[in-house]
Amino acid sequence: MQLKNKCTRLKSNGFLLADAVFAVFVTLLAVVTLQNMLKSIATADKAHHRTDDIVFAYVQFDHFLKEDAKAVYLFPAGTNSRQVAIKKVSQSGKTQVYILASYKDMIRMRTPEGGHMPLLLNVKKASFISKDQQIKINIVEKDERSSEIYFKLDAKPKTTKNEKRKNNEIKS
């Protein structure tokens, strides 16, 4: 009877070698999985998603053009390969000229009176092409990727003599 109790007690109080090996294997599997997840997160964190910056700049400028605008059209007097001038007529009839240009390592929008709003940073080179009612911006980023952004504008309304005089003043 004592022998039976001794054997029964041994079986219930200890681990088998297989249990210990299984526990070590599960722990090792968990550590390797966590290590790979941390590596993936670190790699994703280091990656720069520059495409998002270009899309954000496009959406930001497009929203600005359409916000409270009766008409937005190309202003040829201030347009060349380094910049594009745009006239925006608000719903109240107020006209404002905006210049989209490359400056140092950014593309920015400014007014002739001063002040600017950066649209896109880390730009190595940018050129502007304007035709009829369309603006095309060729962008080469510092990491050598290139992109093209297109904006469609309204048709230019017919100008009066008074507006022609103002346009000539801005040109000078």
Q: Which residue has the higher pLDDT, 50 or 68?
A: 68
What is the per-residue pLDDT across 15-38, written as a single tens digit (0 to 9) for each? 788 888 999 999 999 999 999 999
Residues 34 and 111 in one domain: no
For residues 63 and 147, state if they share a domain. yes
Q: Are 140 and 126 in contact (CB under 8 A)?
A: yes
Using CA atoms of 133, 139, 145, 149 in order, give the dihedral in degrees to the nearest 10: -20
Dist. CA 93–CA 87, nearest whole Å: 12
For residues 163 and 81, membership in a common domain is answered with: yes
User: pLDDT tens digits for 99-152?
Assistant: 999 999 999 999 888 889 899 888 999 999 998 889 999 999 888 888 898 989
> Do both 140 and 80 map to the same domain?
yes
Counting residues of the chain whose pLDDT is more than 90, the rounded percentage is 33
Q: Find the angle CA(103)-CA(109)-CA(114) to the nearest 5 degrees.
A: 90
By the 8 A CB rule, do 99 and 78 touch?
A: yes
Residue 170 — pLDDT band, cuts 50, 70, 90? low
The strand pairing partners of 129, in sequence order, are 136
Specify the pLDDT at position 158: 75
Mean of pLDDT over the chain: 83
36 and 55 within one domain = no
Does residue 97 share a domain with residue 166?
Answer: yes
Joined together, the tokens standing for residue 56 give 């954000």
Give the mean model confidence (pLDDT) for residues 152-157.
85
- Note whether 137 and 59 are same-domain residues: yes
| Domain limits for position 158 | 50-171
pTM above 0.75, yes or no: no
Domain count, the chain: 2
Question: Residue 46, Cβ neighbours under 10 Å: how many?
Answer: 7
Contacts of 149 by beta carbon, 8 Å cutoff, 6+ apart = 54, 57, 58, 136, 137, 139
Q: What percent of the chain has pLDDT over 70?
A: 80
Residues 159, 166: Cα–Cα separation, whole Å? 11
Q: Given this model, what pLDDT does residue 10 score?
A: 52
Which residues, in sequence order, are CB contacts of 133 under 8 Å at separation 6+? 73, 74, 152, 153, 154, 155, 156
